[in-house]
Amino acid sequence: MRLDIRAYLPNRVSGQIVVLLIVSLVASHAILTFSFLYYHRHDEPPLHFPEQLATLMELISANPTDQRETLIASINRAFPRFELAQLPTPPATVSGAASSDYEVAGFAHRMGPNYRVMRLPSGPSTPAAAGDRIVIGLHDGEFVSARLVPLPFSWFGPSAITLIVILISMPLLGVWAALRLTGPLRRFASAAENFDPNGEIAPIPEHGPQEIRVAARALNQMRERIKGLIDDRTRMLAAVSHDLRTSITRLRLQCEFIDNESARAKMLGELAHMESMVESVLHFLRNSQTGRQTVALDIATSLQAICDQFADTGREVGYHGPDHAVIRAHPEDLHRALTNLIDNAVRHGAKADIKLTLTQPTVTIAIEDDGPGIPDALKQAMLEPFVRGDAARGMDDKTGFGLGLSIAHAVIEAHGGSLTLLNRVPHGLVAQVVLPQAEPKTLH
Amino acid sequence: MPHILSVEDDAEISRLVGRYLRAADFRVSMLPDGRKIERALEDGRVDLILLDLMLPGEDGLSLCRRLRTHSSVPIIMVTAKSDEFDRIVGLEMGADDYLSKPFNPRELLARIRAVLRRASAATPIADRARYLAFSGWRIDCLVRELKDPNGTRIVLTGAEFGLLQVLCERAGRVLSREQLLDLTQGRSIDSLGRSIDVLISRLRRKIERDPHDPGIIKTVRSGGYLFAAKVEAS
For A222-254, write each residue's pLDDT tens digit.
888 888 888 888 788 778 878 888 899 999 999
Query: Does A123 have pLDDT greater than 70?
Result: no
Same domain as B117, residue B7: yes
* pLDDT band with cut points at 50, 70 and 90 for residue B137: very high
pLDDT of res. B17: 94
pLDDT of res. A437: 82
Same domain as A317, residue A408: yes
Q: Classify residue A444: in a domain, yes or no.
A: no
Q: Classify residue A341: in a domain, yes or no.
A: yes
Same domain as B172, residue B96: no
* pLDDT band with cut points at 50, 70 and 90 for residue A393: very low
Please, what is the average pLDDT of chain A?
Answer: 77
pLDDT tens digits, A2-33: 556 666 777 777 777 778 778 878 887 787 77
Which whole number is the average pLDDT over A314-323? 89
- Does the distance separating the beta carbons of A252 and B105 come in below 8 Å? yes
Q: Report d(CA A83, CA A339) in Å as an integer.
A: 96
- Does the distance separating the beta carbons of A245 and B80 come in below 8 Å? yes
Same domain as B202, residue B121: no
Is the pLDDT higher at A197 or at A130? A197
Same domain as A35, residue A177: yes
Q: Classify residue A203: in a domain, yes or no.
A: no
Given CB atoms, is A289 within the 8 Å cutoff of chain B?
A: no
End residue of a domain, out of A192, A219, A250: A192
Same domain as A111, residue A246: no
- In angstroms, how far is CA A114 from the centroid of its own chain? 71
Is the pLDDT higher at B83 or at B209? B209
Range among A152-166, B52-66, B72-86 rated most confident: B52-66
Same domain as B218, residue B136: yes
**Share above pLDDT 90 across residues of chain A, in percent, rounded to a whole number:** 10
pLDDT of res. A41: 52
For residue A281, the distance in angstroms to the closest alpha carbon of chain B comes to: 14
Which amino acid is present at A402?
Answer: G
End residue of a domain, out of A284, A314, A333: A284
**Which 3 state secondary structure label does DSSP give A173?**
helix
pLDDT tens digits, B7-31: 998 999 999 999 999 999 999 999 9
Phi/psi at B219 (nearest 5 deg)?
Answer: -90, 130
Nearest CA in chain A to B23: A257
Given CB atoms, is A271 within the 8 Å cutoff of chain B?
A: yes
CB nearest to A308's CB, from B20, B54, B202: B202
Q: Report d(CA A302, CA B157) in Å as an integer.
A: 9
Domain count, chain B: 2
Long-range contacts of A381-390 (CB under 8 A, 24+ apart): A382/A421, A383/A409, A383/A419, A383/A421, A385/A284
Q: Classify residue A441: in a domain, yes or no.
A: no
Which whole number is the average pLDDT over A246-267? 90
Q: Report d(CA B231, CA B234) in Å as an integer.
A: 10
Same domain as A267, residue A385: no
Q: Classify residue A430: in a domain, yes or no.
A: yes
Is the pLDDT higher at A130 or at A341? A341
- Does the distance separating the beta carbons of B152 and A326 come in below 8 Å? yes
Q: Report d(CA A186, CA B139) in Å as an integer.
A: 51
Which whole number is the average pLDDT over A432-437? 90
Report the CATH number at residue B225: 1.10.10.10
Same domain as B121, residue B166: no
Q: What is the domain range of residue A183? A: 5-40+156-192
CB nearest to B155's CB, from A242, A296, A302: A302
Beta bridge partners of A439: none
Report the CATH number at residue B64: 3.40.50.2300
* pLDDT band with cut points at 50, 70 and 90 for residue B43: confident
Given CB atoms, is B120 within the 8 Å cutoff of chain A?
A: no
End residue of a domain, out of B102, B126, B150: B126
Given CB atoms, is B11 within the 8 Å cutoff of chain A?
A: no
* pLDDT band with cut points at 50, 70 and 90 for residue A273: confident
Report the CATH number at residue A227: 1.10.287.130
Same domain as B138, residue B160: yes
Q: Which of B108, B191, B178, B111 is nearest to A312 (CA)?
A: B191
Q: Report d(CA A368, CA A365) in Å as an integer.
A: 10
Phi/psi at B22 (nearest 5 deg)?
Answer: -65, -40
Are the C-beta atoms of residues A81 and A40 closer than 8 Å to each other? no
CB nearest to B152's CB, from A251, A279, A296: A296
Same domain as A67, residue A11: no
* pLDDT band with cut points at 50, 70 and 90 for residue B82: low
- Does the distance separating the beta carbons of A250 and B150 come in below 8 Å? no
Query: Does B88 have pLDDT greater than 60?
Result: yes
Same domain as A387, residue A296: yes
Given CB atoms, is A272 within the 8 Å cutoff of chain B?
A: no
Pairing of strands A85-87, A143-147: antiparallel
Same domain as A242, residue A259: yes
Are the C-beta atoms of residues A337 and B192 closer than 8 Å to each other? no
Domain count, chain A: 4
Which whole number is the average pLDDT over A392-403? 51
Q: Classify residue A199: in a domain, yes or no.
A: no
End residue of a domain, out of B126, B145, B177: B126
Same domain as B142, residue B89: no
Given CB atoms, is B205 within the 8 Å cutoff of chain A?
A: yes
- Chain B CB contacts of A256 under 8 Å are 16, 20, 105
* pLDDT band with cut points at 50, 70 and 90 for residue A443: very low
Q: Classify residue A425: in a domain, yes or no.
A: yes
Query: Does A49 have pLDDT greater than 80?
Result: no
* pLDDT band with cut points at 50, 70 and 90 for residue B191: very low
pLDDT tens digits, A138-154: 777 778 888 777 666 56
Q: What is the domain range of residue B69? A: 3-126
Query: Does B110 have pLDDT greater than 60?
Result: yes
pLDDT of res. A121: 67
Q: Report d(CA B188, CA B186) in Å as an integer.
A: 5
**Which 3 state secondary structure label does DSSP give B134?**
strand
Given CB atoms, is A313 within the 8 Å cutoff of chain B?
A: no
Burial class (CB in 10 A: 0-12, 13-18, 19+), A302: buried
Pairing of strands A316-320, A351-359: parallel
Which whole number is the average pLDDT over B171-198? 72
Same domain as B151, residue B86: no
Same domain as A378, residue A425: yes
**Share above pLDDT 70 across residues of chain A, in percent, rounded to a whole number:** 80
Burial class (CB in 10 A: 0-12, 13-18, 19+), A442: exposed
pLDDT tens digits, A51-72: 788 888 888 888 887 888 888 8
Same domain as A369, residue A259: no
Is the pLDDT higher at A285 or at B162? B162
- Does the distance separating the beta carbons of B19 and A257 come in below 8 Å? yes
Given CB atoms, is A311 within the 8 Å cutoff of chain B?
A: no
Q: Which of B148, B145, B158, B66 is nearest to B111 (CA)?
A: B158
pLDDT of res. A302: 92
Q: Report d(CA A193, CA A382) in Å as an integer.
A: 30
Same domain as A23, residue A114: no
- Does the distance separating the beta carbons of B205 and A249 come in below 8 Å? no
- Does the distance separating the beta carbons of B16 and A250 come in below 8 Å? yes
End residue of a domain, out of B85, B105, B126: B126
Please report the residues numbered 327 through 356 in chain A whose beta carbons come closer than 8 angstroms to any beta carbon of chain B.
331-332, 335
pLDDT of res. B27: 93
Please report the residues numbered 23 through 42 in chain B whose beta carbons come closer than 8 angstroms to any beta carbon of chain A.
none
Are the C-beta atoms of residues B141 and B131 closer than 8 Å to each other? yes
pLDDT tens digits, A295-310: 889 999 999 999 988 8
Same domain as B91, residue B17: yes
Same domain as B144, residue B207: yes
Given CB atoms, is B19 within the 8 Å cutoff of chain A?
A: yes
Q: Classify residue A126: in a domain, yes or no.
A: yes
Same domain as A406, residue A324: yes
Long-range contacts of A369-372 (CB under 8 A, 24+ apart): A369/A344, A369/A345, A369/A424, A369/A428, A369/A429, A370/A424, A370/A427, A370/A428, A371/A345, A371/A427, A371/A428, A371/A429, A372/A348, A372/A427, A372/A428
Same domain as B154, residue B80: no
Same domain as B99, residue B46: yes
